[in-house]
Amino acid sequence: MAETYKVLLINGSPKIKGCTARALDEVEKTLNENGVQTERIEAGTKDIRGCIACNYCRTHGKCVFNDIVNETAPKLAEADGVIIGSPVYYAGSNGQLLAMLDRLFYSTAGTVDLNQKVGAAVISSRRAGSTSAFDEINKYFTISSMPVVSSTYWNEVHGFTAEDVEADLEGLQTMRNLGRNMAFLIKAIRAQKQVEGLPEQEHEKWTNFHTEQR
């Protein structure tokens, strides 16, 4: 039976047919052409509040707020990779999306193994601020032992409307190359996992930056 691979796409834009969606469309189409199944979540249209640091998730295995975060958690667990798309607001990602990611990554820390699931950020901007938003999302991956998938340019498109993005030929090319690279990396990780398993991850040491006066 043929191997199945799956990528979860999270659209952090409130415009479900906007620039971010157009970029995600291009990646998704390429993933599908390379044998990877996809599922998309529209996060930008949802009412999402931030984390309140209650640690309910540590004893109950899910966030205290039973919304899109808890709905997304099992989908993240099943996926081989995740692509997170965001428009640029004041040189950063959509705050609504960041509230979701804070709670999703924190509340699943004890229940979803993210080790070697691949991740990619996709950013859309009218003009600037894209690279800082790009860095912002990538930090969720790099704290979670998730390989970050790159392309032939930073994973971004430019435009004020989805029609503008159609004219960003390099941006769409970047999305297609991202899809190919992600499909390849997912398959390579799966193959190596079957040979020798996943890399061991240590979690015993916790350093607090506090020094006593002696």
Q: Is the pLDDT of residue 197 over 70?
A: yes
- C-alpha–C-alpha distance, residues 85 and 199, integer Å: 28
What's the pTM?
0.94
Query: Do the Cβ atoms of 10 and 46 come closer than 8 Å?
Result: no
- C-alpha–C-alpha distance, residues 93 and 146, integer Å: 20
Per-residue pLDDT tens over the stretch 53-101: 999 999 999 999 999 999 999 999 999 999 999 999 999 999 999 999 9
Element (H, E) at 79: none
- C-alpha–C-alpha distance, residues 174 and 153, integer Å: 6
Per-residue pLDDT tens over the stretch 102-144: 999 999 998 999 999 999 999 999 999 999 999 999 999 999 9
Per-residue pLDDT tens over the stretch 14-52: 999 999 999 999 999 999 999 999 999 999 999 999 999
pLDDT at position 211 is 63
Per-residue pLDDT tens over the stretch 170-193: 999 999 999 999 999 999 999 999
Domains of the chain with bracketed CATH: 5-196 (3.40.50.360)
Q: Is the pLDDT of residue 213 over 70?
A: no
- If one compares 206 and 183, the residue with the highest pLDDT of the two is 183
Query: Do the Cβ atoms of 85 and 9 come closer than 8 Å?
Result: yes
Q: Which residue has the tokens 């941006």?
A: 171
